[in-house]
Chains A and B, each alone.
Chain A
Amino acid sequence: MIGESWVTTTVDKLEEWGRNNSFWPLPFGTACCAIEFMSVVSSHYDMARFGYEVVRFSPRQSDVMIVAGTITDKMAPTLKRIYDQMPDPKWVVSMGACACSGGFYRAYHVMQGIDEIVPVDVYVPGCPPTPEGLMYGILQLKEKIKRDSKRRLKEKRAHGDDSGSAAA
């Protein structure tokens, strides 16, 4: 017999599959890393092979923010605002040393890592990371989302069983 939980978990799986294979990245590119990000979307590396080519500059239409470049204190409120404007579920990839930790700019105007204001899912080191490095990071994010959704599914299933038994 097909229960309610079977339907919802299948829908969840489908949703996860779709989500994983079509990130819509929002490139928050400011500096050197943005140039390497451009390399990732141009023909030599071509992120479209993973289904991630729909680069959206509007936060409302994207689900992965790729912060590429130094974030200064002046930029920080903008970054926060754009992150807040993104609809859930959303992820953040921090690309390069500056975005991850401030890099070698231990300076009066540079944010020491964007995790001061937004949660980061994947940190990609490098200054700037090679395009492969960024792609590796994004693929790691994909794995992470898979893992998370599996865990969620498991919890849901357990929860569904509980509620079923309680009803019986």
Chain B
Amino acid sequence: MPHSDTPEPYRYTLAERLYLPLLGGMWVTLRHFVGNLLGRRTSYTIEYPEERRAYSHRFRGHHILTSRPDGSLRCVACFLCATACPAECIHIEAGEHPDVNVEKYPVVYDIDMLRCVFCGYCVDACPEEAIIMSNNYDMAFFNRASSVVTKEELQKPFTYDQARLGYRPRYPEEEEQRARARRELQAGRVDLVGEARRRQEAAAAGPESSKSAAASS
């Protein structure tokens, strides 16, 4: 056997034998303690539910069924989302739509929220951008029956506003930002390290800005 058969454990240094490094450790904890007590250092805790962590616009939360301008669902009951779903939590029953151009619409569109694993495959699969996800994670149910959300609930989620949209296929605002960032980077105008440092300093400066910075980073 080419491998050694006796382990050689670590040998203590003299300082370690004398418990001296403990003082260094105590200094660390003391520094944190006093710093937090006096509020000089930023506290990492966020005060949920008053204060929320800033999640990105890709967050995979509660689903939303989008509507056409006339208020009807965009969904054409093509079953792609139900097929793509690894948890098989989407239940659709299709019906004949009065408008021949649309052909089909979902009579029933239920998602079992307790089965759902929020993988976003339904959003990827949808060819109509009819199902997207919101930024909403505040969900709790008191029984299994109420966890099956119907199309009416999915169409009017309680947090449907532009700011709280989550995972969806296109991010036009991000595209713009990315293009700008690339241009600036190529022009050598942007200093990423300096920017990160500035952000950190800003975080250290005031508790108001610090919390938002800590939450976003």
B45 and A136 contact, CB distance less than 8 A: no
Contact between chains at A133 and B139 (CB < 8 Å) = yes
CB within 8 Å of B: which of A79-137?
97, 100-104, 106, 113, 115, 121-127, 129-133, 135-137
B residues 104-121 in Cβ contact with A at 8 Å: 112-119
A125 CB to nearest B CB, Å:
4
Which of A46, A97, A123, A136 is B87 in contact with, Cβ under 8 Å?
A97
Task: Count how many chain A residues have C-beta atoms less than 8 Å from C-beta atoms of the other chain.
Answer: 32
CA–CA, A133 and B119, complex, Å: 16
Instruction: Check A104 against B45 for contact (C-beta < 8 Å).
Output: no
Q: A156: CB under 8 A from chain B? A: no
Most buried by B among A49, A97, A102, A115: A97
B114 touches A97 (CB 8 A): yes
| Residue numbers in A under 8 Å from B141 (CB-CB) | 122-123, 125
B interface residues, how many (CB within 8 angstroms): 29
In the complex, the answer to whether B137 meets A126 with C-beta atoms within 8 Å is yes
Q: List the B side residues contacting A49 at CB < 8 Å.
A: 45, 47
Q: What 1/0 flags go to B51-79 for Cβ under 8 Å of A?
A: 01100000000000000000000000000
Chain B residue nearest in CB terms to A121: B142
- B residues near A (Cβ < 8 Å) are 44-49, 52-53, 86-89, 112-119, 137-144, 147
Question: How many A-B contacts at CB < 8 Å in the complex?
Answer: 92
Complex CA gap A40/B119 in Å reads: 22
Expressed in whole angstroms, the minimum distance between the Cβ of A152 and any Cβ of chain B is 17
Asked whether A140 is an interface residue with its Cβ less than 8 Å from the other chain, the reply is: yes
Minimal beta-carbon separation of A20 from chain B (angstroms): 16
Complex contacts, A132 vs chain B, CB 8 Å: 48-49, 52-53, 137-138
Interface contacts beyond A45-B45, A132-B52, A136-B138: sample of 19 additional A-B pairs, CB < 8 Å, sorted by A:
A45-B46, A46-B45, A97-B115, A100-B144, A101-B112, A101-B115, A103-B115, A123-B114, A123-B141, A123-B144, A124-B139, A126-B137, A132-B49, A132-B53, A132-B137, A136-B49, A136-B140, A140-B140, A144-B142
Can you pick out 26 interface pairs between chain A and chain B where the beta carbons lie within 8 Å of each other?
A44-B44, A45-B45, A49-B47, A97-B87, A97-B114, A97-B115, A104-B86, A104-B88, A104-B89, A113-B114, A115-B144, A122-B140, A123-B142, A123-B144, A124-B140, A125-B113, A125-B147, A126-B118, A127-B119, A131-B48, A135-B48, A136-B140, A137-B140, A139-B49, A140-B142, A144-B142
